């Protein structure tokens, strides 16, 4: 965060939105109304009362998982130790700090509902962490998303207790050092605190929420680039007809058609294109609109996850109930993430095919091959297209659904599992890969105009094209384009956010 800027503020009395998870990449000040703190305190007191009565409560008076038939440790602090320590077995690459911090925000929101019985100290500790540059070091592999994200959330708690590793200002160090440099005190857990921290799908919800936020931008970007391609090539716009798309019967398809029409307002066809364009132009409302349906569904699901309570058991002080069940089972998010994954891959297929069309002189009314000003001496988009092909292949290979890969584990206590965590991580990976493909297409469109395609005629498209051109000087001679692609990907996200803000 730049010096002198204040952290974003977030009031947990309101609903948590997927896009708000992105705020957690930087310091964020979470504010609690008094009634939120009151219900957290009331639930904690209720759990202490029930525990003292001798009533069996899973994870408080018992062992964990299939060891529920055995008594747990009598000391609450020791029971918390066991909860965390036997899950510190994760491996693989570490989650980026932004994802780990988003998971903390999601877990904080669930715990603040006052159904988990955590102490106010836990809520205060997570809140304080988010207002610093601290991030837990969390391995990617270890969760099956069935009894919550036990292992990744255990690493969150482990780091907040000063154990293992953590990030401070993006640099990996020991958790103890990161806490000290952040001005945080070590988290002390007792009673049900540890189990409440780990026994939910907050890592899954955070990853899926971040994927949805990027996917919303990706849909807008796909609409923009499809319109820009149409304008630059001088294509007819009949494929966006209001009546045509209304007759198809899919509202999201009609919405995409309306978006493309809006971008193209003020443009006129060149009259030099065929009666019917390739599907990568003509069918863009149907493809992008269908992807939008999947994005909207994932958005609805993850909003429910973020604003619900994932834990077991749940406590209801107002009725005196302790209810054991399966609110840690991430099946809804697993299905939604897999569906989103497939939609993102198809958007990737579209962008790659649009780029292929653009570099092919046989389909662009004679633009030079690879959009090179001197074919053979310089190669312009040739490397970019190969990179796009590799990226699409990677996306396709990762498109296998995780939500049907159930494997029994945990002495068959977890005899069916959703793998929502892996599904959500993959969806987020796909959303990031799609940014590269959209950037590649944007660079191609900018270069096409340089080598002879017409500048966009539509005023809105011309304005965006000028912003792209500022980031991408014409490719006169071959040069590295990797940092250029990264800058353009960021620019497209900015433009898409502006568009979404007006919708």
Catalytic residues: 58
Tell me how far apart the alpha carbons of residues 208 and 148 are, in angstroms, rounded to a whole number: 14
Q: How many CB atoms lie under 10 A from the CB of residue 41?
A: 14
Distance of CA 223 to the CA centre of its chain: 20
In this structure, are residues 485 and 439 in contact, taking their beta carbons and an 8 Å threshold?
Answer: yes
| Structure token digits, residue 413 | 């206590």
Of 64, 87, 14, 21, the residue nearest 313 (C-alpha): 64
> Can you tell me whether residue 292 is helix, strand or coil?
helix
Neighbours of 155 (CB within 10 A): 31
Written in H, E and C, the secondary structure of 206-270 is HHHHHHHHHHHHHHHHHHHHHHHHHHHHCCCCHHHCHHHHHHHCCHHHHHHHHHHHHHHCCCCCC
Contacts of 47 (CB under 8 A, 6+ apart): 57, 60, 117, 191, 192, 315
- Beta carbons within 10 angstroms of residue 233's beta carbon: 23
Side-chain-side CA neighbours of residue 386 (13 Å): 6
User: Can you tell me whether residue 30 is helix, strand or coil?
Assistant: strand
Which residues are CB-neighbours of 392 under 8 A, at least 6 positions away?
Answer: 345, 348, 349, 352, 437
Q: CA 28 from chain center: how many Å?
A: 18
Q: How many residues does the chain have?
A: 503
Structure tokens at 118: 């955590």
Instruction: Identify whether the C-beta of residue 134 lies closer than 8 Å to the C-beta of residue 164.
Output: no
Q: Which residue has the tokens 């969150």?
A: 156
Measured between alpha carbons, how far is 216 from 486 in angstroms, rounded to an integer?
A: 19
Cβ neighbour number for residue 51 with a 10 Å cutoff: 18
């Amino acid at each position: 965060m730049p010096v002198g800027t204040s952290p974003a503020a977030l009031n947990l009395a309101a609903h948590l939105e997927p896009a708000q998870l992105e705020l957690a990449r930087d310091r964020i000040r979470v504010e609690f109304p008094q009634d939120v703190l009151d219900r957290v305190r009331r639930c904690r007191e209720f759990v202490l009362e029930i525990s003292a009565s001798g009533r069996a409560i899973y994870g408080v008076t018992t062992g964990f998982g299939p060891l529920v038939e055995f008594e747990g440790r009598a000391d609450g602090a020791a029971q918390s130790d066991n909860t965390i320590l036997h899950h510190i077995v994760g491996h693989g690459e570490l989650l980026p700090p932004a994802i780990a911090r988003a998971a903390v925000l999601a877990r904080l929101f669930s715990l603040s509902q006052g159904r988990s019985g955590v102490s106010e100290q836990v809520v205060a500790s997570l809140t304080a962490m988010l207002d610093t540059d601290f991030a837990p070091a969390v391995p990617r592999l270890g969760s099956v998303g069935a009894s919550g994200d036990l292992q990744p959330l255990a690493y969150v708690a482990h780091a907040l207790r000063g154990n293992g590793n953590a990030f401070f200002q993006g640099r990996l160090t020991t958790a103890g050092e990161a806490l000290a440099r952040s001005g945080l005190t070590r988290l002390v857990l007792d009673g049900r605190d540890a189990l409440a921290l780990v026994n939910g799908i907050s890592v899954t919800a955070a990853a899926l929420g971040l994927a949805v936020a990027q996917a919303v931008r990706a849909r807008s970007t796909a609409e923009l680039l499809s319109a820009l391609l149409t304008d630059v090539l001088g294509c007819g716009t009949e494929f966006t007809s209001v009546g045509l798309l209304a007759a198809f019967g899919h509202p999201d398809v009609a919405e995409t058609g309306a978006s493309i029409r809006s971008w193209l307002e003020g443009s006129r066809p060149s009259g030099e294109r065929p009666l019917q364009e390739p599907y990568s132009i003509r069918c863009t409302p149907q493809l992008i609109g269908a992807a939008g349906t999947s994005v909207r569904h994932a958005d609805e699901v993850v909003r429910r996850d973020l604003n619900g309570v994932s834990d077991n058991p749940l406590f209801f002080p107002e009725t005196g109930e302790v209810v054991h069940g399966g609110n840690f089972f991430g099946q809804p998010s697993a299905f939604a993430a897999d569906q989103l994954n497939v939609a993102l891959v198809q958007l990737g297929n579209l962008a790659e095919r649009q780029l292929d069309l653009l570099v092919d002189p046989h389909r662009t009314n004679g633009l030079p091959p690879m959009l090179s000003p001197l074919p053979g001496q310089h190669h312009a988009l040739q490397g970019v297209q190969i990179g796009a092909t590799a990226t699409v292949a990677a996306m396709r290979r990762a498109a296998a659904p995780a939500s049907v890969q159930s494997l029994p584990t945990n002495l068959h206590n977890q005899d069916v599992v959703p793998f929502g965590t892996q599904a959500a991580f993959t969806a987020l990976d796909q959303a990031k890969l799609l940014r590269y493909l959209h950037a590649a297409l944007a660079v191609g469109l900018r270069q096409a105009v340089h080598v002879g395609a017409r500048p966009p005629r539509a005023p809105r498209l011309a304005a965006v094209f000028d912003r792209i051109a500022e980031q991408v000087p014409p490719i006169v001679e071959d040069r590295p384009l990797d940092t250029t692609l990264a800058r353009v990907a960021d620019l497209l996200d900015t433009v898409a956010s502006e568009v979404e803000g007006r919708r």
